[in-house]
Amino acid sequence: MSAPTITLGISFKMYFGYAQTLAWCRQIAACLPRYPAVADGRVALFVLPSFPAIAPVLEIFADTPVSVGGQNLYPAPNGAYTGEVSGAMLAEMGCRHVEIGHAERQRLFGEDAASIAAKMQVALDHTLTPVLCVGEAERGTPRAAVEACREQIMQALDQATPAQRRQPLVIAYEPHWAIGAAEPASLSHIAAVCQGLREQLDTHPAASVIYGGSAGPDLLTRLAGRVDGLFLGRFAHDPAAFEAVVGEACSLVAAR
């Protein structure tokens, strides 16, 4: 299975309320017929709402190519884990993606390499496409960042079988040192690291490397094909802004 040309995703984190989530999704679903590249899979979209909104969001996007997923899952198939959500339930509902290993989960909830690997295993066992978040802790060279992220990817896939390593995978690169910083990562740094990670994953044809830092209009164009897409943040809380990036992606794939 080949990866799409461009992948665009968004996680609402805990910013959106229930009604706001549904309104945003309805507006995006309504605009999709204008973008043939989304319909034919050249531009892939995924949306990660808060858990209580997953079921209605799945209904809103039911007749569209948009994939819906969870922002987290528990690193065990099932059991007495009050307040947690299993990969089995996400898959049963119809989710196709799940976010794993975000820097906030590591910083605020103590997730480490072992728990991330366990979550990856559960996701792959249930044929959920992991959105694996990676990034280096300290500012340095692109080469050092690629090596740090490569190690994180290898650790995350530590329990995966050879067949599971061929399943679709989204790598979302965001340098940890740039999160909330006054100065974001430079365009040249982003391009070099994402290109380096793509080269590291050249034996994984169903893998995409997307950038998950501060992303706004024209970033895809300015990265000149050296990244497979974007994991959008607060900029795309305005559905018109998200649609603008979808339009940009469709224009880029049409020109190739």
Residue 88's domain spans which residues? 6-190+209-251
Residue 122 maps to a domain: yes
Burial of residue 12, with CB atoms counted within 10 A of its CB: 0-12 exposed, 13-18 middle, 19 or more buried: buried
Q: Which of 174, 189, 204, 243 is catalytic?
A: 174
* Residue the block writes with tokens 């300290």: 138
CA 15/CA 10 separation, integer angstroms: 12
* 174 carries an active-site annotation: yes
Residue 154 covered by a domain: yes
Distance separating alpha carbons of residues 244 and 254, to the nearest angstrom? 15
* Dihedral over alpha carbons 221, 214, 209, 163 (to 10 degrees): -150
In a domain, 151, yes or no: yes
- The CATH number given to whatever domain includes residue 159 is 3.20.20.70
For residue 61, tell me if it sits in a domain.
yes
Active site residue 204: no
Say what the pTM is: 0.95
Please check whether residue 217 lies inside any domain of the structure.
yes
Domain-located, residue 197: no
Domain assignment present for residue 166? The answer is yes
Structural domain count, the chain: 1
pLDDT digit string, tens, across residues 6-24: 999 999 999 999 999 999 9
- Per-residue confidence in pLDDT tens, the chain, 256 aa: 455 789 999 999 999 999 999 999 999 999 999 999 999 999 999 999 999 999 999 999 999 999 999 999 999 989 999 999 999 999 999 999 999 999 999 999 999 999 999 999 999 999 999 999 999 999 999 999 999 999 999 999 988 888 998 899 999 999 998 886 667 789 999 999 999 999 888 767 789 999 987 777 789 999 978 999 999 988 899 999 999 999 999 999 998 8
Q: Give me the catalytic one of 97, 102, 176, 189.
A: 102
CA distance 23 to 155: 38
pLDDT tens profile 141-172: 999 999 999 999 999 998 888 899 889 999 99
Q: Is residue 198 part of a domain?
A: no
Residue with tokens 């979550």: 119
Angle, CA 214 vertex, CA 166 and CA 239 arms, to 5°: 90
